[in-house]
Amino acid sequence: MVIVLLGPPGAGKGTQCKRLAEKYELVHLSSGDILRSNRANGTELGKKAAEFMDSGKLVPDQLIIEMMVGAIESAKGNCVLDGFPRTVVQAGELNEELSRKGKKIDAIVDLIIDDSVLERRLTGRRSCPACSAIYHIDTLKPKVEGVCDKCGKKLAQRTDDKPDVVKQRLETYHQQTAAVVGYYTGKKYRILDIDAEKSISEVTSLIFAKLDNLVTA
C-alpha cells in the first residue's frame, strides 16, 4: 500500500504519518528526515542538500528522486510518503517508478490549513534528532521539558524553523509544491481533503475515517 500525504510546511504531515504508519503497518518515509539524517552523517547528499534546506528552498529534483526511489524500494513499496513528491517532476517520476514495480498510489491525503496558523506551529516545534519524534512548546509538550519521551535524547529546534526561513519555505510551497495537487487532480486521482486546523487527534480521526472507508470499499 502506498499513501501520499500532502500539505504545507507545519501542516502536520510528520505527526500524522507516524500514526498512519503504525495503524496500517507502513514504513514512514519522510524526505526531510532522510535528508537530515544524511546531513548528520556527513554524506555527499547531505552536504549538497544543506544550503537548499537552510534557505527554505527545494533540494534539486534529481537528488531527491534518486534518494526516494531507493527508500521506496527498501520499504518494498509499502509506505506512507511524507514530503515527497514536492514538485510536478517528482510526482511524474514517482508514478513511473511505481508502475515499473506494478504498484500505484492507493490514497492521497491533502492537509488543508491557512498560512496564518503555520508560523506558530513551526517556530514552536521541537524535535528529537535521534528518533525524529515531534513536539510543540504549547500543544504537545514532552513529559520532561527539552527531553524526548521516546528515547531520552535532548530535543532541538530545526535550523529551518527560524521565522525568516519559515517565510521562505511557505513561499516555496506556494510556488512549487501546491501544483502537485493539480497534477493529481488532472490525472483523476481522488484526493482526500482534511481540515488540518483541528487538534492533532481530531485530524488523525478524520484521516483514519476516510482511509478506513477506502480500505474496506
Question: Which positions are annotated as active-site residues?
Answer: 13, 86, 125, 158, 169
Cell numbers 517528482 label which residue?
Answer: 90
One symbol per residue from 76 to 115: x for binding ligand AP5 (CB under 6 A), - otherwise; what is it?
A: -------xx-x---x-------------------------
Burial of residue 189 (number of CB atoms within 10 Å: 0-12, 13-18, 19+): middle
Q: How far is the CB of 128 from ligand AP5 (least distance, A)?
A: 11
Contacts (CB under 6 A) with ligand AP5, residues 144-163: 160
Q: Which of the ranges 92-100, 133-141, 183-191, 208-216 carries the binding residues for ligand AP5, by CB under 6 A? A: 133-141
Q: Which of 136, 148, 155, 206 binds ligand AP5 (CB under 6 A)?
A: 136
Contact status: 12 vs ligand AP5 (CB under 6 A): yes
- How far is residue 92's CA from residue 125's CA, in Å, rounded to a whole number? 32
Give the residue nearest to ligand AP5 (CB): 32
- How far is residue 177's CA from residue 46's CA, in Å, rounded to a whole number? 22
Contact status: 139 vs ligand AP5 (CB under 6 A): yes
User: DSSP label at 26?
Assistant: -
- Which residues are CB-neighbours of 32 under 8 A, at least 6 positions away? 14, 82, 83
- Of residues 2 and 31, the one with the C-beta less far from ligand AP5: 31
Number of residues that bind ligand AP5 (CB under 6 A): 36
User: In terms of DSSP bridges, do strands 79-82 and 27-30 run parallel, antiparallel, or are they unpaired?
Assistant: parallel
Task: Provide the residue type at 16 as one letter.
Answer: Q
Contact status: 199 vs ligand AP5 (CB under 6 A): yes
Q: How far is the CB of 76 from ligand AP5 (least distance, A)?
A: 21
Residues 172, 58 contacting (CB under 8 angstroms)? yes
Q: Which of the ranges 20-28, 37-45, 53-61, 98-106 carries the binding residues for ligand AP5, by CB under 6 A? A: 53-61
- Which residues are CB-neighbours of 8 under 8 A, at least 6 positions away? 111, 113, 115, 118, 170, 173, 174, 177
Task: Provide the residue type at 131 as one letter.
Answer: C
Residues forming contacts to ligand AP5 in the complex (CB under 6 A) are 7, 9-15, 31-32, 35, 52-53, 56-59, 64, 83-84, 86, 90, 121-122, 125, 134-136, 139-140, 160, 169, 196, 199-200, 203
